[in-house]
């Protein structure tokens, strides 16, 4: 168990660093914009890499690398890749209603949770 936790921690450090560097690269390439292009880039790229890894790991017997790559690197890079994988898994199982509900609840409640957290904290520091 401790080895798996260390794999996740190391992968997370790599992924978070890659997210930061990708954001810097996008800003250098396109300049400062009001649209969160860096975040969009890591979300799309992370989801793409998750798709590659899931199929490759299953076909090549590399699922033991899941904690390091999926939870660690890609989780540190973007949790959106995990969200995308869970959504596609529900769709592939034919659970279209659950997939739609998952997307709506994940996005809506996450944005709502962030908003409530901001409002509560602003109330403390106002």
12 is annotated as contributing to ligand binding: no
DSSP state of 79: T
- List the structure tokens of 8: 């996740």
- List the structure tokens of 103: 């997307």
List Cβ neighbours of 88 (8 Å cut-off, separation of 6 or more): 51
89 is annotated as contributing to ligand binding: no
Q: In the chain, what is the greatest distance between 2 CA atoms, to the nearest angstrom?
A: 55
Return d(Cα 90, Cα 98) in angstroms, integer.
Answer: 7
Annotated binding site: 75, 78
Annotated binding site for Na(+): 75, 78
């Amino acid at each position: 168990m401790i080895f798996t936790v260390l794999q996740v921690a190391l992968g997370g450090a790599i992924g978070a660093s890659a997210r930061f560097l990708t954001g810097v690269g996008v800003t250098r390439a396109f300049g400062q914009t009001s649209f969160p292009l860096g975040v969009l880039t890591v979300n799309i790229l992370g989801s793409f890499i998750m798709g590659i890894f899931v199929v490759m790991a299953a076909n090549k017997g590399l699922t033991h690398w899941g904690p390091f790559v999926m939870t660690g690197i890609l989780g540190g890079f973007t949790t959106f890749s995990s969200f995308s994988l869970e959504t596609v898994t529900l769709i592939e199982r034919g659970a279209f209603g659950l997939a739609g509900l998952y997307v709506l609840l994940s996005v809506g409640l996450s944005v709502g949770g962030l908003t409530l957290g901001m409002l509560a904290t602003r109330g403390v520091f106002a």
